Amino acid sequence: MEHSSSLPRDGRTIVVIGSSTGGARTLEIVFSQFPLVDAAVILVQHMPHSMNSALCRHIEEISFMEAGIAEDGEEIEHGRIYVAPSDLHLKLIKNRTISLFDDAKVQYVRPSIDVAMTSLERRESDRFAGVILSGMGSDGAEGIRHIKSIGGTTYAQALRTCAIHYMPRAAFATGRVDEMLPPEGIRENLIRFAGIL
């Protein structure tokens, strides 16, 4: 789809989405006809290297967002989706700049959703949303707890709609998830949260 570009205002709106086993189908629904939103989206998907570029291409085919594999030192911009590369953790420096590194696995995975989410810093000018989709294990639970603690909005996929419900269940168990929603509900809430560019 055609894309337009826009420089973000001083404050950033950052959405971090974590997904694992069974998440590919959910992402297809979330990003289908997804408009160009006034936010930078960080996507941490547990997947093999061979899937990185294909996922980015597919998101661009079905949405109005630009999608690419995150690069070390890259400054985030609104209207773009940054996909964490396989086998590297991703964190944001001062909510602005991507840092990639190959430290030990966290929650048995690398990249870790927790690492990305807990790197966000409370800033008056910035807004945050965290989303946990289908997957094994508990990666993302601490991240959701952190995002809520800095004033963010949090969602998890409704368990009945998950191929594998362990990650959303672990996030819900923290008591810090605002809403459990089906993929269509997550899509609509993210659009309302971010606003359209």
Residue partners of 32: CB distance under 8 A and separation at least 6: 62, 63, 187
Does the CA dihedral 189-181-30-107 come out positive or negative?
Answer: positive
- Using alpha carbons only, how large is the chain's radius of gyration in Å? 15
Question: Bridge-partner residues for 68, per DSSP?
Answer: 82
Determine the Cα–Cα distance for residues 128 and 38; give it in Å rounded to an integer. Answer: 12
Question: Bridge-partner residues for 59, per DSSP?
Answer: none
Catalytic one of 19, 38, 46, 146: 46
Establish whether 10 is a catalytic residue: no
Establish whether 72 is a catalytic residue: no
Burial environment of residue 12 by CB neighbours within 10 A (0 to 12, 13 to 18, 19 or more): buried
Establish whether 20 is a catalytic residue: yes
Catalytic one of 19, 20, 112, 134: 20
Catalytic one of 112, 139, 146, 165: 139
Determine the Cα–Cα distance for residues 175 and 106; give it in Å rounded to an integer. Answer: 21
Determine the Cα–Cα distance for residues 11 and 96; give it in Å rounded to an integer. Answer: 10
Catalytic residue ranges: 20, 46, 139
